[in-house]
Amino acid sequence: MSNEQACFTPIEEVLSSNCVGKEVSVRGWVYRARTSGAMLFLVIRDSTDIIQATVKKDRVSEQAWKNAEACTRIESAVTVKGVVAKDDRATGGFELQATDFTAIHAADVFPIAKDNSEEWLLDIRHLSIRSRELTAVMKVKATVLAACREFFEKKGYWETTPPIIASGACEGGSTTFNFDYFGKKAILSQSAQLYLEALIFSLEKVYAITPSFRAEKSRTLRHLAEYWHVEGEEAHMNFEQLIAFEEEMISFICQKTAKERPKELELLGRNPEEMLAIAPPFPRMAYAKAIEILKQKGMPVEFGDDLGADEEKILTAEYKKPILLTHFPAKIKAFYMKRDPTDENLVLGADILAPEGYGEIIGSSQREEDNELLISRLRADGSDPAAFAWYLDLRKYGSVPHSGFGMGIERLVRWICKLDHIRDAIPFPRVINRVYP
């Protein structure tokens, strides 16, 4: 760290440590500004927090006063030196009584004011991304990602880097982004799963954190065209072990986030205690039971229907912990899921649904090992087995039982942060009508 950097105190530290009576310098952006004659009240924001700075004309040099007056537009970049004083009226309980003030950049009129429409804020997302709420969400997301890596590390998994440019659709062709790859057809990866399956034969336990792409043609509160996918795959892992792994992983992530990001969670309206309470086991429900419950609640569903957001909302509304939905009809699930040995119409698949109505955050299964079954299921889905020749090879050379899962990071963050819309779980959302900025 350079000397120049070292002499600025993060605002969080000014607020939390005993700085009262001391002179400190902070560096940040003007978050709110109010003038009152020979006095300026400037709330300064840095990446850590906000603090009110008061600049009095007769307490600073003429130059410092001029600098401060030039920075009364919000988002001006400034440094403030001042003495910390307790002030219960100020946000955070302290104020910085300026002794010096410099302008790094006096901003133009910022285009964001109160009561902007959601669409406008999305149009200027490169600026609206500075909001305290989105900042808190991005910090929570960084902690969630760190927690994922830490958990996999603890479990002896290898991080790997599967391709994003792929040749075959893992989750069916209806939502692929297709493009020309030097004269051949290629797609943007929907899931790294098939490649992770290839990697378990050398590394045994593998994971990847990659962007995944789905050409979702509908607008929903939980679909992005580009999202971040955490996927794990483990050799010799059976269905029960898979479920235990997922329960432990989600609990670990929730608890670590509660411990490390309580301030951000509170700002977003999530009580950290609720996240600390997420621990195994999660309630379980077979698909058939879920259909029964939905019917009782008056939903027009039949056995064999895929469950959408509305159904998941009803199923999870009353739970505090995520729920495990298992044993789906093979017909509604992907070709690679292993059949239930006790009922060949069902698969050893488990979705994890976030509680409080948020819905699916994980899709997972034990994988089918039988090549003939895989081929017939590919054909039944209208896929050409020849396109999956490399994948089918994996069942010829030392095939072993194995399982894996994929978790949508923005789905998880949406639940943890209680976000209305998944787009706020990613800085620059890609949805059907939006690829700018």
Question: Exposed/middle/buried for 357, CB within 10 Å: 0-12, 13-18, 19+?
Answer: middle
Q: Give the contact letters, 410-429, x = binds to ligand 4AD (CB under 6 A), - = no.
A: xx------------------
* DSSP states of 269-301: T--HHHHHT--SPPPEEEHHHHHHHHHHTT---
Size, binding site for ligand 4AD by CB under 6 A: 24
Q: Identify which of residues 205 and 214 has a Cβ nearer to ligand 4AD in the complex.
A: 214
* Given 45, 205, 229, 377, the residue binding ligand 4AD (CB under 6 A): 229
Residue 80 Cβ, how far from ligand 4AD at the closest point, in Å? 41
What is the DSSP code (8-state) at residue 415?
Answer: H
Both tokens of residue 375? 């081929």
For ligand 4AD, the binding residues in 184-213 under the rule CB under 6 A are 190-191, 193
* Given 13, 87, 216, 274, the residue binding ligand 4AD (CB under 6 A): 216
Whole-Å CA distances, 318 to 140, 228, 289, 323, 359 = 25, 28, 16, 11, 12
Residue 321: contacted member of Mg ion, ligand 4AD, none (CB under 5 to 8 Å, by partner type): none
Residue 406 Cβ, how far from ligand 4AD at the closest point, in Å? 2
Q: Identify which of residues 327 and 411 has a Cβ nearer to ligand 4AD in the complex.
A: 411
Alpha-carbon Rg for the chain, nearest whole angstrom, is: 26
Task: Please count the other Cβ atoms lying within 10 Å of the Cβ belonging to residue 226.
Answer: 17
Q: Identify which of residues 28 and 232 has a Cβ nearer to ligand 4AD in the complex.
A: 232
**Selected range binding Mg ion among 28-36, 77-85, 300-308, 363-371, rule: CB under 5 A:** 363-371
Instruction: Tell me if 223 contacts ligand 4AD by CB under 6 A.
Output: yes
Q: Are 172 and 334 in contact (CB under 8 A)?
A: yes
Judged by phi (left if over 0) then psi (alpha if -120 to 50, else beta), residue 238 lies in beta
Q: Identify which of residues 26 and 407 has a Cβ nearer to ligand 4AD in the complex.
A: 407
**Residue 434 bridge partners (DSSP):** 431
Q: Identify which of residues 329 and 363 has a Cβ nearer to Mg ion in the complex.
A: 363
Q: Identify which of residues 13 and 248 has a Cβ nearer to ligand 4AD in the complex.
A: 248
Instruction: Tell me if 224 contacts ligand 4AD by CB under 6 A.
Output: yes
Q: Identify which of residues 363 and 404 has a Cβ nearer to Mg ion in the complex.
A: 363
State phi, psi for 69 to the nearest 5 degrees. -60, -30
* Given 322, 406, 413, 431, the residue binding ligand 4AD (CB under 6 A): 406
Instruction: Tell me if 322 contacts ligand 4AD by CB under 6 A.
Output: no
* Given 363, 404, 408, 429, the residue binding Mg ion (CB under 5 A): 363
What is the DSSP code (8-state) at residue 7?
Answer: T
Q: Identify which of residues 196 and 294 has a Cβ nearer to ligand 4AD in the complex.
A: 196
Separation of alpha carbons 364 and 327, rounded Å: 11
**Selected range binding Mg ion among 53-61, 93-101, 282-290, 360-368, rule: CB under 5 A:** 360-368
Question: Exposed/middle/buried for 130, CB within 10 Å: 0-12, 13-18, 19+?
Answer: middle
Separation of alpha carbons 175 and 293, rounded Å: 30
* Given 362, 413, 417, 431, the residue binding ligand 4AD (CB under 6 A): 362
Q: Identify which of residues 168 and 359 has a Cβ nearer to Mg ion in the complex.
A: 359
Separation of alpha carbons 12 and 51, rounded Å: 9
Separation of alpha carbons 80 and 78, rounded Å: 7
Residue 81: contacted member of ligand 4AD, Mg ion, none (CB under 5 to 8 Å, by partner type): none
Instruction: Tell me if 359 contacts ligand 4AD by CB under 6 A.
Output: no
Task: Please count the other Cβ atoms lying within 10 Å of the Cβ belonging to residue 413.
Answer: 25
Q: Are 362 and 410 in contact (CB under 8 A)?
A: no
- Helices marked H in 261-382 — which ranges? 262-267, 272-276, 287-296, 309-316, 371-380
Separation of alpha carbons 405 and 412, rounded Å: 14
Q: Identify which of residues 272 and 406 has a Cβ nearer to ligand 4AD in the complex.
A: 406
Residue 410: contacted member of ligand 4AD, Mg ion, none (CB under 5 to 8 Å, by partner type): ligand 4AD
What is the DSSP code (8-state) at residue 345?
Answer: E
Instruction: Tell me if 245 contacts ligand 4AD by CB under 6 A.
Output: no
Residue 408 Cβ, how far from Mg ion at the closest point, in Å? 9
Q: Which residues bind ligand 4AD (CB under 6 A)?
A: 170-171, 190-191, 193, 214, 216, 223-224, 227, 229, 231, 360-364, 404-408, 410-411
